[in-house]
Amino acid sequence: MAKILCVLYPDPEVGYPPEYARDDIPTIASYANGQKAPVTDDIGFRPGELVGCVSGELGLRPYLESLGHELIVTSDKDGPNSEFERHLPDAEIVISQPFWPAYLTPDRIARAKKLKLAITAGIGSDHVDLAAATKNNITVAEVTGSNSISVAEHVVMMVLSLVRNYLPSHEYARNGGWNIADCVSRSYDVEGMKFGTIAAGRIGLAVLRRLKPFGLDLHYTDPHRLAPEIEKELGLTYHPEPHSLIQTMDIVNLQMPLYPSTEHFFNDELFSQMKRGAYLVNTARGKLVDRDAVVRALESGQLAGYAGDVWYPQPAPADHPWRTMPWNGMTPHISGTSLSAQARYAAGTLEILKWFFEKKPIPEVYFIAHEGKLAGAGAHAYKLT
């Protein structure tokens, strides 16, 4: 029987289960590219329930225990004395969410002698050292597509809130103020602005589609060029490399995966090449940008605003400068774990477990690494260096 070690974020401080605002969520049967969403027939929860936290257990316990497997669920993931470290040497499967990542470093992978499968409940598997995983023949799988629209909606929200100065104006209203001039002296319309996304994969493309009706001039860069009909439909300008895009955009969206050569992609040098007063939105990964360079760019006015939900490390320490830097619209890492997204990635995690235990093939699109190399979605999006 297998030990499955599942790391989830802590329960709500108000207690579990929380009081839900709504009674149901829409059923999404398939995604924009035709890929079928995970089946939710026999999941161990009602779609719309909070399953991403420890007590929610992604609804996995009934299935795993019916087969006699041992399921350990914990949020205690960091440090040598953590629950995670204690169970890792016996675990055959590790499940982790990017929102509360259980970092699978080369050292930890070396100690995880029985580990065969690392599942990302969500999207983005950079918390797993992919070079070490491939070297040790560990399969890395994620629930591709499960929260792409959740994140795309968040990006659109952040673009609008930054450019229109929504958050500071809301604070004015909350605090009893009414100085309209103070609120609007940093408020603009997005209409007519140049918007560019660095990476136009599932999320980047969904953002472009959603911004099209706002009348923006849309640009993108990505090593994989989109189909000509999509470029035509959305009126896209393609940049074969990121620099020409970065230099001319009013708003930049960062959506590429984190791997060794994209770490600290945005640094002082790149910020200095942007238009003064540009906005940057990053829901991809915190480490894609140099932490202190963002602060400097906001303080000098080179950037007019920065918003995102991804940090490094996670959870972010209480004194992380992104919490307090000027003109930021940061949230904790939440965009991909709305209750709607959880229903899909929890169901997808169950599907992956079933395929694994029933020795059925896992669909290629769910692989990041398999049989000692990058595979599936991972081979498309990541590099090992």
Report the nearest approach of ligand NAD to the CB of residue 334 (Å).
7
Annotate each residue in 165-204 with x if it binds ligand NAD (CB under 6 A) or - if it does not, as one string. ---------------------------------xxxxxxx
Question: Which one-letter amino acid corresponds to residue 155?
Answer: V
Q: How far apart are alpha carbons 52 and 385 in whole angstroms?
A: 31
Q: How far apart are alpha carbons 175 and 167 in whole angstroms?
A: 12
Starting at the earlier edge strand, list the strands of the sheet with 278-282: 237-238, 217-221, 194-198, 251-254, 278-282, 303-308
Report the nearest approach of ligand NAD to the CB of residue 32 (Å).
11
Nearer to ligand NAD, 47 or 98 (CB): 98
Residues identified as active-site: 147, 285, 314, 333
Q: Is there binding between residue 221 and ligand NAD (CB under 6 A)?
A: yes
The answer to whether residues 306 and 294 touch, using CB atoms and an 8 Å cutoff, is: yes
Annotate each residue in 261-300 with x if it binds ligand NAD (CB under 6 A) or - if it does not, as one string. -x--------------------xxx---------------
Report the nearest approach of ligand NAD to the CB of residue 172 (Å).
28
Nearest CA to 26 out of 202, 156, 150, 158 is that of 150
Provide φ and ψ at 56, rounded to 5°. Answer: -75, -30
CA-angle at 279, arms to 273 and 282, nearest 5°:
100
Report the nearest approach of ligand NAD to the CB of residue 335 (Å).
4
Instruction: Return the C-alpha torsion angle 247, 257, 103, 52, nearest 10.
Output: 110
Annotate each residue in 104-133 with x if it binds ligand NAD (CB under 6 A) or - if it does not, as one string. ------------------xxx---------
Q: Is there binding between residue 309 and ligand NAD (CB under 6 A)?
A: yes
Q: Candidates 243-251, 253-261, 345-353, 362-370 — which segment interacts with ligand NAD by CB under 6 A?
A: 253-261
158 forms beta bridges with none
In this structure, what token pair is assigned to residue 314? 């996670």
Selected from 104, 115, 256, 350, the binder of ligand NAD by CB under 6 A is 256
Based on its alpha-carbon atoms, the radius of gyration of the chain, rounded to whole angstroms, reads: 21
In this structure, what token pair is assigned to residue 169? 């104006």
Q: Is there binding between residue 147 and ligand NAD (CB under 6 A)?
A: yes
Footprint of ligand NAD on this chain (CB under 6 A)? 122-124, 147-148, 151, 198-204, 221-224, 255-258, 262, 283-285, 309-310, 333, 335-336, 377, 380-381
